[in-house]
Every structure is written in structure tokens, then in C-alpha cells.
Amino acid sequence: MLINSIHAQRLVRRLLACLALFLELKASVSGQVKAVAATHVRNVEARYVEAVAQPGETVPELLARFGLDGYTCNATAFFRINGLQEDYRLKAKTTYRLPIQIVTYDGKTVRSTLGIDSWQVASSIVEFNRQALSKGLRDRSFLDDRELWVPWHELHCRNEHLAAAAAALAPSSVSSAMKKEAEYAGKRLFPIFGPTHQQVPLLSQRLRDQVFYIISGHGGPDVGAEGKREGRTLCEDEYAYDVSLRLARLLVSHGATTYVIVRDSNDGIRNDAFLPCDKDEVVWGNRTIPQDQKERLLQRTELINQLAESHQKAGVKKQTIIEIHVDSRKTTQEIDVFFYYRPGCAQSRALALNMHRVMQLKYSRYRAHKRYQGSVTPRGLLTLKETRIPIAVYVELGNIRNQWDQRRLVKPRNRQLLAEWLFEAL
């Protein structure tokens, strides 16, 4: 029986790709996986795969066509190697270099070719080349033409690899939500921040490989403390949420993996003085917030513990929890921003003290007439006790019932400054 020649060619290519994977596996040392050591392909002059932009195609769409979506650093590298400003529009029928380096294959293994130790990374690169061949993006296998395609993210995006690995390790109840967010993040679009703030540029990688969990107090059936101003009701959860979003956006812009735990799809970052009270918030993963207070708190701590464990398994070394509230006291009592830390935890205390120090410095600049009197104290709050991440700080923004403290909340610029000062401390 004769076999169709085209089918035979495809079969041979698949067998060769499988052989390459087998060689990578065989070369691994007793199944031990080492971290990627190389940050640049050694002894190779940079050559990149090129592609012609189709009519109406944007940068994210071009990257997606070549399997490069889902990683922010691919977009950053695309603009850099093409000498472009960060504009997602492309000129039709124009040739662009892609963040895929072409490396001469040494005929042995991908690891020896690139000078790396990780079998996982090598096998992922083999699979990338196999997919490119099956999609018709390249004409021949790298085993035939000795031209190995190395996507930028495989060697240069460790923090994004960790997030992807954590998504794969996460329980099924949260992993789908993680993957959906990762899809947006790859295009630097974060709808949670609202239409006017959802595009978040990558300003630096200062917080690369770090994970943050930002919790705004209350939400859903519980609006928290309430205050009155100019005949309007101020709800704690709305103002804590706005400051939380502003802080989260700053963290994202500097390379951090950031989870906004309490969420409201209708309320992004808002520049209004009076934020309407509502009860439609959910927690990350689109979970309904329970009525019972203890159940609400346990829901959040359990969620964070699940995510933290996933990231820890993926190799993340530093994770941090910041919970933001607004206190309620007598209307005559003016208080400054103050902090609680986990009792007996030096790391939690150190961060709280650093936040206190930054606030003190900023107060001396912006409110020279008033001495900052915010405090730092240990407190056995449920979030601080039940979460498994050592670095956790609970922030109180002021007294929602005091007229002076309310100015810290109702002025959008003041809310932004609070977020910036907390970010500076982090």
C-alpha cells in the first residue's frame, strides 16, 4: 500500500521533532531541573524572524499570529528591535522583525546550542518550532535547515513564566480566571482599572519576580464604615477600592504580578469626589462575597493561600499582602494614616515601619504645618493571622467620619498620592 508523499513528509517531521525532545530528556541529569542561566544566546549575532503586517493588523495580533501573545516582554522587545515607539498600530505590507531570534542549531541538543541547563525551556522551544512548522510559519524543521527559532520570552521573561506556571498549578476553580487575566496582561490591557486607565505601560522591571495581593476592605453586602459630607454618603469600601486600584496599577507598571482580590467590574479608577455606594463587588475569580463577616474574611484568606502556594511552587521568592481600609471614629477625631502588622513577624513589621517612614516624609513636605501622628502596631486580625505569606500589612487611611480626614479621600489627587506613597514604600 502506497503512502501519500506529503503525509510521509509530515510524519518524518513529527518523528524528528519527537527525537529532538527525546535527546533533551536523555541529557537531563536524574530528572533535576536547573534554573535558566543564560540571558542571551551566546556567541551569536542577533538575527530575527521577519513578518509582513497584514492590513489592519495590530502589534498584539501580529504577535498572536506567531504564538508570542501572553507575554508582555515580547511586545516590549518588538518595539525595541524595530526602533519603534509604543504604538500598537502597524503599517500594512511593511516588514517587521519579530522577537524570535534565529540561532544556528549545533546538531546535538537545544540546550547545548543555547548554553542553557533547563530541559523544560529547551523542550518548550522545540515545541514552539514544531507549532511554527505545523502552522506554515516556517518551511522546514530546524533539524533540516539548522535554524532554530528562539522566542524572546523563553529566555527573558522569567517572571511571566512563573505566572503561567502558577496558573497551571492552581486549583481548577481559579486557574481559568488566571488564564483569562494573563491573556489581557500580555497586551498590557487591564480592564479592572477602567476604560481610561486599562492600558498600563511597562515603565520598569523593578518588581519583577514579585507577587502582590491587594485587598480593599469590605465590599459586596458590606459597604464598611460610612461618613457624611455635603449631604452625601461616603462608603468605606468604595474609597479603599479606588486607592487599591491605583496602587495595583503602579505595581503592574513596574513588572509585578498583582492580584486585586476584591473587584468591581463597573468601577475602575475614578476621578470623582463622591463615589456611589453599591454592593456588586465580588472576589477574584468572580466569586460571590458571603453575607457573614467571618465567611467573607476566610474566603479571601483561602483564595490568597491557594494562589500563594501556586506561585511558591513555581519558584516565586517574594510575595506581599496589602489590605486597605478606612477607619470610623468620633466625628471630632482627626487621625493620620496608620498601620497594623502581623504579631511576631519581623518582615511584616519592617514593611509597616517603612510605610510609616515614607508617610512621615511626605507629610513633612505636603503638610508642613502638621506633625504626622500615624502609628504602627501589631494586631491579630484574621487576614494577618490566617494567610501564609509573612509579609502582610493592614493600612487604615483615616477616619471616614471626620471632615478633615474626608479631604484625604474625596479628592482624587489625594487618593493618587496615597497610592504613590504606599508604592514608594514597597
* Phi, psi angles (nearest 5°) of residue 264: -140, 110
Cβ neighbours of residue 135 closer than 8 Å, sequence gap 6 or more: none
**What is the spatial distance between Cα 274 and Cα 288, in angstroms, rounded to a whole number?**
25
CA 401 to chain centre: 35
**What is the spatial distance between Cα 362 and Cα 365, in angstroms, rounded to a whole number?**
5
DSSP state of 29: B
How confident is the model at residue 8, as a pLDDT? 46
Identify the structural domains of the chain with CATH numbers, from first to last: 5-156 (no CATH), 160-425 (3.40.630.40)
Residues of the chain falling short of pLDDT 70: 1-45, 70, 158-173, 175-176, 178-187, 367-369
How confident is the model at residue 302, as a pLDDT? 93
DSSP state of 300: H
Amino acid (one-letter) located at 210: Q
Amino acid (one-letter) located at 17: A
How confident is the model at residue 238, as a pLDDT? 98
How confident is the model at residue 45, as a pLDDT? 59
**What is the spatial distance between Cα 91 and Cα 51, in angstroms, rounded to a whole number?**
12
How confident is the model at residue 301, as a pLDDT? 95
Cβ neighbours of residue 96 closer than 8 Å, sequence gap 6 or more: 50, 51, 52, 53, 62, 78, 82, 90
Cβ neighbours of residue 346 closer than 8 Å, sequence gap 6 or more: none
**What is the spatial distance between Cα 69 and Cα 175, in angstroms, rounded to a whole number?**
18
How confident is the model at residue 163, as a pLDDT? 64
Helix (H) / strand (E) containing 399: strand 391-399
**What is the spatial distance between Cα 284 and Cα 304, in angstroms, rounded to a whole number?**
9
End-to-end CA distance of the chain: 69
Whole-structure pTM value = 0.66
How confident is the model at residue 403, as a pLDDT? 96
